Structure 1
Amino acid sequence: MLEAIVQNLEDAIEAERVGIDRLELVSCIERDGLTPSLKTTKEIIEHVKIPVQVMIRSHAQGFCYSESDVKDMMQSIEQLKSVGANRFVIGGLTAERTIDVQLLDKIITEYPTIEITFHRAFDHAIDVKQAYLTLIPYKKHIKRILTSGGAPNCLAGVNMLLELVLLSERKNGPLIMPGAGITSDNFASIHKKVQATEYHFGKGVRLMESFDNILDRERITRIKSLFNIYRS
């Protein structure tokens, strides 16, 4: 399963055309991704057949959210659900850099049918293994965790990614989805070691590895081939 970041309808249609399996829809990728507009979300859901996960992040000033921030996030979910979204990318930490379970409890209580991917706030936790254990009881709602293993990118975090994948298998918890800095050049070395079932891609699957450019079918085809070759 290959997931790619998109920001607009043209991106989404092209991603589906070149073989991406699932989309993560964001705005403001230069700020690591914020909540997209209702208009863009509605257009994409109406025009593609592959699953669309929608970022819920109102600002880029860290992952510790105030009551006002949480209210904004809940309002965004409510509005996005009204245009057909039901898969969301969410995450938050306490001031002590542990998983913000109060945030998760509020969202899940209010919206018990949504599917959640916990985003890379996870990588800023003080202890990513403990953070994973904290998220296990939420598996019914949190299907996967997007992570680079607590490192700046997946290549640097490959050893921890392997530990997290093994932990997820042992505990039957949320899937580990490696993401951050994965390219067609380094994918094989990461996948051979980590053996995840899902991977997340950003600029690494675009021409010249830039969000200014379109998705690159050749890079995506190569990654899909390597994914199948090195499956355990």
Structure 2
Amino acid sequence: MKNLLEICCYSFESAKLAQEAGAHRIELCDNYLEGGTTPSHATIKHAVDQLQIPVNVIIRPRGGDFLYSQHEFEVMKQDVINAQKLGVNGVVFGMLKPDGEIDVERTKELMALAPSLDFTFHRAFDMCRNHLQALEKLKQCGVNRVLTSGGMNTAYEGIDLLADLVTAANKQIVVMPGSGINASNIATIRQQTGASEFHASAKTFVSSAMQYFNPAISMGKDGNVDEYQRISVEVEQITKMINILR
């Protein structure tokens, strides 16, 4: 079975770098500090038009938890429709009920809007009450894959549950380990889980080319955030992971 590396990218520039480094697929997001939200229409279109590898787009209207209001869900539905029109390979989403169960009804409703797309249920899965039961529900919904860290902060910490999930998936759904995956642990995670698809950010931060900094003002609400740097991807890290998977 071919091993595949998906790279989470927060801009077109980083997606292009990831492709050049050998990534097999992009998860396109915005808003790193919130853990990823839906990117703009123009960003999606530019990525789809310019990249040669599949682009999957996150459908997440805000940061925080995964219990959405009806208005937020309507936005998510429209984002799925728009993403399909723009020619994406797939979408990445996740919705829960107040009790920590998968929101099966809304999952099916969202998927019905664009049945030809590739559907990934993201790490909302890690917030579920019972991961093995949740996996069965996602199988029944027809979701293509689940992105998961095995219910822990990192995939390495969740390696035991990840192995159980890959076994339980029984090739009916892809279990894609993600969170904290890098060149130093991807071989171990692959060996101990039996997974064949992996999700990594390979993140690095690039300093702004600005020469003047106004020390009296911050555009964001968190004064601890350096607004004169942006997130990107580390090409060397991606290349190393690709070579290991080969």
TM norm structure 2: 0.85
Q: Which residue of 2 aligns with 1:221?
A: 239
In the alignment, the residues of structure 1 paired with residue 205 and residue 159 of structure 2 have an alpha-carbon distance, to the nearest angstrom, of 24
Is structure 2 residue 154 aligned with structure 1 residue 153? yes
Q: Which residue of 2 aligns with 1:116?
A: 119
Q: Which residue of 2 aligns with 1:49?
A: 52
Could you tell me how far 1:80 is from its partner in structure 2? 2.3
In the alignment, the residues of structure 2 paired with residue 206 and residue 13 of structure 1 have an alpha-carbon distance, to the nearest angstrom, of 14
Is structure 2 residue 92 aligned with structure 1 residue 89? yes
In the alignment, the residues of structure 1 paired with residue 23 and residue 198 of structure 2 have an alpha-carbon distance, to the nearest angstrom, of 11
Matching residue's letter, 1:154:
A
Report the 3-state secondary structure (helix = DSSP H, G, I; strand = E; otherwise coil) of the residue aligned with 1:126: coil
Equivalenced residues, count: 222
Q: Could you say which structure has the larger radius of gyration?
A: 2
Q: Which residue of 2 aligns with 1:182?
A: 181
Matching residue's letter, 2:234:
D
Deviation string, structure 1 residues 120-155 (Cα, Å, up to 9, x no partner): 00000001011001111123xx11100001111111
In the alignment, the residues of structure 1 paired with residue 39 and residue 11 of structure 2 have an alpha-carbon distance, to the nearest angstrom, of 9
TM norm structure 1: 0.90
Matching residue's letter, 1:40:
T
Could you tell me which runs of 5 or more consecutive residues in structure 2 were left unpaired when the two chains were aligned: 208-228
Matching residue's letter, 2:237:
R
Q: Which residue of 2 aligns with 1:197?
A: 196
In the alignment, the residues of structure 1 paired with residue 166 and residue 10 of structure 2 have an alpha-carbon distance, to the nearest angstrom, of 29
Equivalent residue runs for 1:21-170 within 5 Å: 21-139=24-142, 142-169=143-170
Report the 3-state secondary structure (helix = DSSP H, G, I; strand = E; otherwise coil) of the residue aligned with 1:4: strand
Deviation string, structure 1 residues 199-218 (Cα, Å, up to 9, x no partner): 0001xx24479994543332
Identity %, equivalent residues: 32
Deviation string, structure 1 residues 169-206 (Cα, Å, up to 9, x no partner): 2xx3210000001111222222221121100001xx24
Could you tell me how far 1:75 is from its partner in structure 2? 1.2
Matching residue's letter, 1:221:
T
Q: Which deviates more, 121-130 or 1-10?
A: 1-10
In structure 2, do the counterparts of structure 1 residues 91 and 67 end up closer, same or farther at CA, with 3 Å as the change threshold? same
In structure 2, do the counterparts of structure 1 residues 111 and 221 end up closer, same or farther at CA, with 3 Å as the change threshold? closer
Higher RCO, 1 vs 2 (CA within 8 Å, ≥6 residues apart): 2
Matching residue's letter, 1:75:
Q
Is structure 2 residue 23 aligned with structure 1 residue 17? no
CA RMSD, 1 decimal: 1.9
Q: Which deviates more, 88-97 or 3-12?
A: 3-12
In the alignment, the residues of structure 1 paired with residue 180 and residue 89 of structure 2 have an alpha-carbon distance, to the nearest angstrom, of 27
Could you tell me how far 1:73 is from its partner in structure 2? 0.4
Q: Is the contact made by 2:54 and 2:89 (CA closer than 8 Å) also made in structure 1? A: no
Q: Is the contact made by 2:148 and 2:176 (CA closer than 8 Å) also made in structure 1? A: yes
Report the 3-state secondary structure (helix = DSSP H, G, I; strand = E; otherwise coil) of the residue aligned with 2:86: coil
Matching residue's letter, 1:14:
L
Could you tell me how far 1:108 is from its partner in structure 2? 2.3
